Amino acid sequence: MTQPGPDMSVVRFAREWIRRLPINHMPWDQREALLTDLAATLAVCLTAPQWDPRPARAVGTALAAAGFAQPDVAATTLILLAEHLHNLSSHDSDAARSRLPHLQAAVVSGHHAVAYDLALDGHETLLRNLAAARRRAEAELHRASLYDPVTGLPNRTLYTDRLTHLIRKRPDGRASVCIIDLHGFRAVNDSTGLDAGDTVLRQVAIRLQDYVNEIGGLVARLGDDEFAILVENTTSPEDAIKVTDRVLDLLTEPIQAGTRRLRLRASAGIVERSLAESDARELIRAAEVALGWAQGAGGNGWRLFDAERNDEQLARQHLSADIPAGIDRGEFQPVYQPIIALGTGHVVGAEALVRWRHPQRGLLLPGRFLDLVAATGYIVPLTVQLLNRACRDVAALPTRASQAPYLSFNIAPEHLTQPEIIAQIADALDRTGLPPSRLQIEVIETEQISTHTDSIAILRELAALGVRVVLDDFGTGNTNYLTLAKLPIHGIKIDSTFTRSLTGDDPQAAAVVRGIIRLGQDLDLTVTAEGIETVEQLTELQRLRCHHGQGYYFSRPVDTADLPARLHGRG
Amino acid sequence: MQPDWVPDGLDVDRPSIARIYDYMLGGSHNFAADRALARQVIEAIPDLPVQAAANRAFMHRAVRFLVGAGVTQFLDLGSGIPTLGNVHEIAQAVSPQARVVYVDIDDVAVLHSQHLLAGNPYAVAIHGDARRPDEILTNPKVTGMLDVTRPVAVLMIAVLHAISDDDDPAGIVAAFRDFMPSGSYLAVAHGVNTRIDYVDDLVDLSKRTTTPVTLRSPDQVQRLFNGFDLVDPGLVWAPLWRPESPHEVPDEPERSGNLAGVGHKP
């Protein structure tokens, strides 16, 4: 028996149906087959001896399930059924017409049930997706606030949080914070571009993370080129040092950034301690202080935080802060060490040295503060103040014209490059009435003195003022002897270590000092030996015909008030 | 008030063109703001749902044509909210291992697509901006899915008219063209400005969505196929592009408002 093909009128109904329905993803022939099938079912419903709504309902359901779920599908179908009823039931149209409303209701009901469910399902999925997208955006934001976007490592905030959490969780434990800083990273960025810089950072991050995965701990990127490692449950600084040594080792392996292979150097600061009464920020700061020490020591190594050293550093910082007020209040004062003519034993001059009478810390020697004064930029004002004071002190000394002592005054190398110095010295002489011939400027023998044209010009101007200039610490710098002959100077001073070596166990060193003294004499320079402490040294210097000398053998530095008495002593 | 971390696509108070399109197609993946604007738009331009439907139907036929032409890789730009009859459903119905990458700028559309595609090894959805071809073409999910030694079909259905002249649509198409190997295809449906009765309204209304619309002349649309040979019947009203049955062609195909064409890269 053969299956009868669809009635042509049913096919016509189906085609009209497709034309009126909204679009559907099925190819035309599949759509035609489906709708012809559904139309045939509707025809059966209309003509069946017994009315059964179920097949008609199923037609509505099948329509929606096939993708005809749009709201106007039901309306389109109702109208089509009314208009083209004859295509579905040519035989008994009265019976069909009376059954039509029931058929329409059944189709709409079936369609609506599925379409409504689909809409609800769709909307629920939409809302879930929206919520998921929001969670993701929120998580992304949260992540962005806690992780470094370049390396994906935790950032400073998260590192600090974790450390705080650890301190709270294990107050009786120990831990170490190690902060690593890459050297010359900015140069990498500048010379190879930001991308290469980021590549370097990522590679460093991977190395650190891989290593820390082995030992357990937390790696973070704290800033530009600063990374940190947190190791829990350490037992002593030794544990932290081992980790740091390994890390610095790992970082010395060359890194490929684009076409370049870079060799990095790094420094590290470590703090390792009991967590009791610790604070995360304070631990990180301590490691950063230690990092500063490591960098200050030339880099490529680590330093362990040491509270004592930190205190000392803090004390120096406080001292630095006191400098400006100290200058204003005249707390910096000169003391004088007499300079003796070794041939006669007469006092011929005095070297001014500086002391700081600190209101809380008492009398401070220059070793405690001179570098701080230089670092804070107060060398020039302090020098000018002291020069005026010393010129006044020396000018006021009761003297006979023939042996009026001179003032020997030290000028720092950085001051010597400033052209204003000439005016400052001339001004001090004017104000105090000290004749230029009684001022001797001591400049340290540095490379700058012998090669820097500005410095040489300033030395010439000083000589033109009538002021004497001597090279201090001669023999410790690298002045070429030929250059020395051409420098506009009047004398050299021999450092106390040389003076000591004259009578020491090293005959070669002694020979060198003798050579220097002879050189000075040959160049017609006044030679002054510093640091004379024993009669043997004095005797040897006298034998070598060294012109002048100073040192504890003659006198310690004395206050202004005691200077006149010293001038008349043996020295 | 909307929290400020919510990206544009997740701002349900700002209508999204993808969701309006979905609503016009009878979908339920839309929010009140989308529906409100959609109703206004439909009131001003009653043919818009017809246009949406015509573009969607063109996409269906184009994908079937392309699979028939041997293409098994698809990059669907501006894929929108997935409703029944997505590219992968149509392509994989014929060629089960056909690969499809969906790209949309709307996060909800992308998430929905990802949800739908879970477990389908040959289809992925990514968040991307068609104006940044490089970002899309270098996305690992894209490079992992598409084999650039074999032909790829790039679908730009109703997406280029969401790209303003300032963003250089021709340059964007050219960037994708340069990526496509010889033998690839480009399918475009683009709204045109020949229907003076609504062009201004449409452009104005679209400014309230996240992606304003720029309608172009047929010549301008034709020029977007620079470097491609248009396959028969060329650039035509969307319903006239290779109807699968003469019965499928509506009485007034120009109501689709969109020209459609498929170009072959020689």
Which chain A residue has its CA at the smallest distance from B88's CA? Answer: A25
Spatial contact of A265 and A183, defined as CB atoms under 8 Å apart? yes
Structure tokens at B80: 């929108």
Q: B53 vs A22: CB contact, 8 Å cut-off?
A: yes
For residue A15, which residues of chain B lie inside 8 Å, CB to CB? 247
The C-alpha atoms of residue A375 and residue A386 are separated, in whole angstroms, by 18
Query: What residue has token string 């120096």?
Result: A316
Interface of B with A (CB under 8 A): 5-7, 9-10, 12, 25-31, 53-54, 56-57, 60, 64, 84-86, 89-90, 107-108, 111-112, 115, 243-245, 247-248, 250
Same fold: A156-305 with A317-567: no
The C-alpha atoms of residue A246 and residue A208 are separated, in whole angstroms, by 10
Spatial contact of A204 and A227, defined as CB atoms under 8 Å apart? yes
Please give the residue that has the higher pLDDT: either A570 or A36.
Answer: A36
Work out the end-to-end distance of chain A between its first and last CA atoms, rounded to an integer number of angstroms. Answer: 146
The C-alpha atoms of residue A204 and residue A148 are separated, in whole angstroms, by 13
For residue range A209-250, list pLDDT tens digits in order. Answer: 999 998 889 999 998 889 999 999 998 888 899 999 999 989
The C-alpha atoms of residue A296 and residue B5 are separated, in whole angstroms, by 44
The closest alpha carbon to B24, from B235, B257, B251, belongs to: B257
Q: B85 vs A67: CB contact, 8 Å cut-off?
A: yes
For residue range B31-49, list pLDDT tens digits in order. Answer: 898 899 889 888 888 888 8
Average pLDDT over residues A439-450: 80
The C-alpha atoms of residue A482 and residue A146 are separated, in whole angstroms, by 65
Q: Above 50 in pLDDT, residue B259?
A: yes
The closest alpha carbon to A339, from A350, A353, A352, belongs to: A350
Considering the domain B17-264 in this protein, what is its CATH number?
3.40.50.150
Every domain of chain A and the residues it spans: 8-144, 156-305, 317-567
For residue range A168-193, list pLDDT tens digits in order. Answer: 998 888 999 999 999 877 777 777 66
Question: Could you say which DSSP state residue B25 is in?
Answer: T
For residue A22, which residues of chain B lie inside 8 Å, CB to CB? 25-26, 53
Give A364-372's long-range contacts (Cβ < 8 A, gap of 24+): A368/A319, A369/A319, A369/A323, A372/A316, A372/A319, A372/A320, A372/A323
Question: Could you say which DSSP state residue A276 is in?
Answer: T
CA–CA min distance B227, chain A (Å): 30
For residue range B57-106, list pLDDT tens digits in order. Answer: 999 999 999 999 999 999 999 988 877 688 998 999 889 999 999 999 88
Instruction: For residue B108, give the nearest of A71, A118, A129 by CB distance.
Output: A129
Instruction: Report the topology of domain A156-305.
Output: Alpha-Beta Plaits (3.30.70)
Structure tokens at A464: 């033109």
Instruction: For residue A28, give the nearest of B54, B89, B245 by CB distance.
Output: B245
Interface test with A, best of B2, B4, B10, B51 (most A CBs within 10 A): B10
For residue A34, which residues of chain B lie inside 8 Å, CB to CB? none
Which chain A residue has its CA at the smallest distance from B12's CA? Answer: A130
A72 in contact with B at a CB cutoff of 8 Å? yes
Every domain of chain B and the residues it spans: 17-264
**SS3 at position A529:** strand
The closest alpha carbon to A202, from A160, A129, A147, A153, belongs to: A153
Mean pLDDT of chain B: 87
Average pLDDT over residues A132-158: 87
For residue range B223-241, list pLDDT tens digits in order. Answer: 999 999 999 999 999 999 9
For residue A122, which residues of chain B lie inside 8 Å, CB to CB? 27-29
Phi-psi region of A499 (alpha: psi -120 to 50; beta: other; left: phi over 0): alpha
**SS3 at position A541:** helix
For residue range A281-336, list pLDDT tens digits in order. Answer: 999 999 999 999 898 887 788 999 887 777 887 788 888 888 988 999 999 999 99
A65 in contact with B at a CB cutoff of 8 Å? no
Q: A18 vs B89: CB contact, 8 Å cut-off?
A: no
For residue B5, which residues of chain A lie inside 8 Å, CB to CB? 137-138, 141
Which chain B residue has its CA at the smallest distance from A141's CA? Answer: B5
The C-alpha atoms of residue B156 and residue A468 are separated, in whole angstroms, by 90
What is the pLDDT confidence band of residue B210, given thresholds at 50, 70 and 90? low
Question: Could you say which DSSP state residue B227 is in?
Answer: T
**Domain A317-567 class in CATH:** alpha beta
CA–CA min distance B244, chain A (Å): 6
Percent of chain A exceeding pLDDT 70 equals 95
Give the pTM.
0.55
For residue A123, which residues of chain B lie inside 8 Å, CB to CB? 28-29
